[in-house]
């Protein structure tokens, strides 16, 4: 399935009453017999049971929440009922918009694929990452939300970055790094001092910060997200806190500029920014 508009793909393959077309039934038959179903961009979004439909940018999605039938709609579900899929993840900071969608539809696992990258799902549901960059895995199995707090928030989520060659088994929760990777030694860190990202939704910002955290003398890193200082709701932003725990791991390759980070805790809370953010000197 090619890119474009995922709503057009699902509309072409499902009847107005939600039933399958003959073509979709034939695709499912092929898939169940061991055939490969693949998609890029919009074609990747349709792989989960729920997909972004008229998906907005991450920050407005965090601020305004998810509306069923507008932001999200039924996908085709080839990846199964337990995993939520999104695409263009690192280059567009879309990991943040996955969080409210996953919470709204009670997903525990979210798989976000970057550009020029593929997540290959085997018959046993294990996931292998191949390609130029990697994928983010969000785990909300231990996460909670403070309903008394105004604005989107989540505590105790886990975030992992899988690079090319890495594997993940959802059944066991086991990560297997690529064969060329070695575990980062936290006793000999490459980065020292506070870790902070001024735009955590920027291109590869979250993966870069996670990598530094797992090779750092710091146990915690922080990133913030905010919009145009002259735009609507300019004072409403979000703070992302990433914390190493005993289960966190970092892996790196000596043969290529690749790395992997597993099971870092992530907490998100709304923050109010003091305006103006800056003044000319």
**For residue 72, what pLDDT is reported?**
96
Give pLDDT, residue 250.
96
Which H or E element spans position 211?
helix 205-214
CA angle 211, 271, 246 (to 5 degrees): 35
Could you give the count of Cα atoms lying within 13 Å of 145 in the half-sphere of its Cβ? 13
Q: Domain ranges in the chain?
A: 6-183+245-267
According to the model, what pLDDT value does residue 6 have?
A: 95
Q: Which portions of the chain are predicted below pLDDT 50?
A: none
**pLDDT for the residue 257:** 79
pLDDT at position 229, please?
83
Q: Say which residues have a Cβ less than 8 Å from residue 79's Cβ, sequence separation at least 6.
A: 47, 48, 85, 111, 121
Tell me what pLDDT residue 258 has: 86
pLDDT tens digits along 159-177: 999 999 999 999 999 999 9
Question: Of 137, 240, 153, 138, whose CA–CA distance to 198 is shortest?
Answer: 240
* CATH 3.90.1150.10 is right for the domain spanning 6-183+245-267: no
Contacts of 18 (CB under 8 A, 6+ apart): 74
- Contacts of residue 140, defined as CB under 8 A and 6 or more positions apart, other chains included, come to 99, 102, 103, 107, 108, 109, 110, 154, 157, 158
pLDDT on residue 119? 96
Question: pLDDT at position 280, please?
Answer: 81
């Amino acid at each position: 399935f090619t890119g474009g508009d995922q709503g057009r793909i699902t509309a072409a393959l499902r009847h107005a009453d939600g039933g399958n077309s003959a073509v979709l039934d034939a695709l499912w038959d092929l898939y169940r017999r061991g055939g490969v179903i693949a998609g890029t961009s919009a074609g990747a979004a349709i792989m989960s049971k729920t997909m972004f439909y008229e998906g907005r940018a991450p920050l407005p999605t965090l601020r305004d929440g998810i509306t069923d039938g507008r932001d999200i709609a039924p996908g085709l579900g080839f990846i199964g009922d337990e995993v939520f899929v999104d695409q263009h993840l690192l280059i567009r900071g879309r990991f943040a918009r996955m969080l409210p969608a996953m919470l709204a539809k009670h997903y525990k696992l979210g798989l976000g694929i970057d550009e020029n990258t593929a997540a290959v799902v085997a018959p046993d549901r294990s996931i292998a990452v191949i390609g130029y960059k990697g994928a983010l895995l969000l785990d909300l199995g231990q996460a909670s939300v403070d309903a008394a707090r105004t604005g989107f928030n989540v505590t105790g989520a886990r975030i992992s970055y899988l690079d090319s060659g890495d594997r993940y088994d959802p059944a066991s929760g086991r990560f297997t790094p690529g064969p060329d990777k070695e575990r980062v030694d936290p006793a000999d860190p490459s980065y020292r001092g506070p870790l902070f990202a001024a735009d955590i939704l920027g291109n590869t910002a979250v993966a870069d910060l996670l990598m530094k955290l797992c090779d750092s003398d710091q146990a915690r890193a922080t990133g913030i997200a905010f919009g145009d200082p002259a735009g609507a709701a300019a004072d409403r932003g979000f703070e992302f806190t990433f914390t190493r725990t005993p289960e966190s791991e970092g892996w790196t390759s000596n043969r290529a500029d690749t790395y992997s980070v597993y099971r870092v805790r992530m907490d998100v809370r709304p923050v109010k920014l003091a305006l103006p953010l800056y003044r000319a000197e």
